[in-house]
Amino acid sequence: MGSSSVYKCRHCGHRFISMGGGNIVVSGCTESHLCQDCNTVFERLIKSGDYNYKEGDPKENPNCAQCDSLNILPWKQSDGCPLCQGGLKATPTCCEVV
């Protein structure tokens, strides 16, 4: 089962919640993405049951969850802070209140 973490940038202090890359949740498999327009990290459903979402698939939602932009890329913790690319400290969400 997937778990999320609170990520805090060691350089600029920016905080956000993410699963930190690929994960398995109740509804299927997710992948973390970064919107290059608003710098939001969000999760996208990439597999549901036996169905794999593909680029351009009408069932896929490729838009940013915050600003609806299509300018998104896969994101993982090692990519660093979405604002300054600084190093991140991850704390499981069960252990920290945002």
- The Cα-based distances of 10 to 14, 46, 81, 97 in angstroms read 8, 30, 9, 18
Distance CA 98, CA 36 (A): 23
Task: Write down the pLDDT at residue 1.
Answer: 47
Task: Write down the pLDDT at residue 61.
Answer: 64
- Helix %, strand %, coil % of the chain (to 5): 5, 40, 55
Q: Is the pLDDT of residue 13 over 50?
A: yes
Task: Write down the pLDDT at residue 52.
Answer: 61
Q: DSSP for 2-26?
A: ---EEEEETTT--EEEE--SEEEET
Q: Is the pLDDT of residue 12 over 90?
A: yes
Q: Give domain limits for the chain.
A: 5-92
pLDDT tens profile 21-65: 555 444 567 788 899 999 999 888 776 666 565 655 545 567 887
Distance of CA 34 to the CA centre of its chain: 6
pLDDT class for 16, splitting at 50, 70, 90? confident
* Average pLDDT, integer, range 83-87: 95
Radius of gyration (Cα) for the chain, nearest Å? 14
Task: Write down the pLDDT at residue 9.
Answer: 96
The pTM of the full predicted model, rounded to 2 decimals, is 0.71
